[in-house]
């Protein structure tokens, strides 16, 4: 690996889940070009009892099991101290495109995937951020980890065509006459020109790039008002 390689360390009880996702498409190519490295770490390897236990019943009672802090921290301490550490948890701060833009500069990130009823809260002292991918609950942090790896990887130089991320949804907006942090991307069209009565807007067929740009800005604003008006407040 080169010094420019971006490394993701993923602490997970189910490392095999990542095989199919990271062996396909853009992430596969990024790994092949040595732009990205994926290091999967199973906390179970740091358990000391014969059953390799990683969880226990919650203090105070309640359903489910909680991942033990001693096991998780042992796994965490096996990684470089220079890494930026994220605990994936439904009660964390919401992950956004702005977060992805910030994290792409870190070069080495740890993603701790909770499971069962989550991770002992004392682990939070050892991480830089507690992150949630949305206002919903999942069975574990593995799928959120995949989403975060994907969202950061595609922003790294050399992964996808330069400039192709600038007009995407949630990208910063600087050309409008009123304050707004971001808009949703304008609608996209391809062949056939007419499909079941729906036609591609004529402006996109005109070849007039100035008019196309104006149309796209207008459609971005319209789409944001319809689906995500909160971005305009």
**Number of separate helices (H) and strands (E) present in the chain:** 6, 11
The domain ranges of the chain are 6-153, 171-232
In 3D space, the residue among 116, 58, 115 whose CA is nearest the CA of residue 88 turns out to be 115
pLDDT, mean of residues 98-106: 96
Assigned CATH class of 6-153: alpha beta
* Phi and psi, residue 203, nearest 5°: -60, -30
pLDDT band of residue 111 (cuts 50, 70, 90) is: very high
pLDDT, mean of residues 118-133: 97
What is the DSSP secondary structure assignment for residue 113, as one 8-state letter? E
Question: Per CATH, the architecture of 171-232 is what?
Answer: Orthogonal Bundle (1.10)
The pTM score is 0.89
Q: Is the peptide bond before 192 cis (omega within 30 degrees of 0)?
A: yes
Which tokens go with 24?
């396909």
C-alpha distances (whole Å) from 196 to each of 127, 199, 205, 207 are: 53, 8, 18, 24
């Amino acid at each position: 690996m080169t010094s420019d390689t971006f490394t993701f360390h993923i602490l997970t009880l189910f490392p095999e889940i990542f095989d199919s996702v990271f062996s396909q498409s853009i992430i596969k190519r990024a790994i092949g070009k040595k732009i990205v490295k994926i290091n999967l770490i199973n906390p179970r390897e740091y358990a000391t009892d014969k059953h390799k236990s990683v969880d226990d019943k919650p203090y105070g009672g309640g359903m489910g099991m909680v991942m033990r802090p001693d096991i998780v921290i042992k796994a965490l301490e096996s990684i470089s101290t220079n890494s930026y550490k994220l605990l994936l948890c439904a009660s964390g701060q919401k992950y956004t495109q702005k977060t992805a833009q910030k994290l792409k500069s870190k070069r080495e990130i740890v993603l701790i995937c909770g499971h069962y009823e989550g991770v002992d809260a004392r682990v939070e002292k050892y991480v830089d951020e507690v992150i949630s991918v949305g206002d919903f609950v999942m069975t574990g942090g593995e799928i959120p980890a995949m989403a975060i790896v994907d969202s950061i990887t595609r922003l790294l130089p050399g992964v996808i065509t330069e400039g192709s991320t600038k007009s995407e949804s949630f990208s910063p907006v600087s050309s409008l006459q009123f304050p707004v942090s971001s808009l949703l991307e304008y609608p996209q069209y391809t062949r056939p020109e007419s499909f079941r009565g729906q036609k591609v807007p004529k402006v996109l067929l005109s070849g007039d790039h100035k008019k196309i740009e104006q149309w796209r800005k207008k459609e971005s604003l319209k789409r944001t008002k319809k689906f995500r008006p909160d971005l305009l407040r």
